[in-house]
Amino acid sequence: MHVNPRRRGSALLDVVISLVVLGLGGLGLISFVGQGAHSVRSVRNTERDVRRASDELGRFVMYDRARLIAMVGRSWSGGWRIEVVQASRDLFDVSVGQSDASSALLRTTVYRPDTIDAASP
């Protein structure tokens, strides 16, 4: 068997190049999986925060008109920034956020009619 001196070592070079390509592909896959895990963790944390904010907002929906009027403005409750604004005579905007710098995580409008002015039957 005759070996060409110019082709000597080319099989080893092919193996090294293949390993480099395989390694780069593996690194890409590892970073992709890491980013996916980070995204899942971020979504889970946001969902937990929204549920906690929803529980806090649920308390405000149960309040009567007098209590909502007394709470107009910004306040802190259970680690949440609560803002109650009387939008009109019978409507109150309630928003729940994490801090003064962040936007509201949840907000709703509550209708509480003034029963003093209601016509008697």
> What is the rounded distance in angstroms from the CA atom of residue 116 to the CA atom of residue 61?
20
Q: What is the mean pLDDT of residues 7-24?
A: 83
The residue ranking higher by pLDDT, 115 or 61, is 61
Model confidence at 116, in pLDDT bands (50, 70, 90)?
low
Which of 74, 75, 61, 69 shows the shortest CA–CA distance to 110? 61
> What is the rounded distance in angstroms from the CA atom of residue 16 to the CA atom of residue 93?
66
pLDDT surpassing 80 at residue 8 = no
pLDDT at 64: 87
- CA trace torsion 89, 93, 99, 101 (10° rounding): -80
Cβ atoms 110, 61 nearer than 8 A: yes
Q: What is the mean pLDDT of residues 22-36?
A: 90
pLDDT surpassing 60 at residue 113 = yes
> What is the rounded distance in angstroms from the CA atom of residue 53 to the CA atom of residue 47?
10
pLDDT surpassing 80 at residue 110 = yes
The residue ranking higher by pLDDT, 61 or 41, is 41
pLDDT tens digits along 33-55: 989 999 999 999 989 988 988 88
The residue ranking higher by pLDDT, 95 or 12, is 95
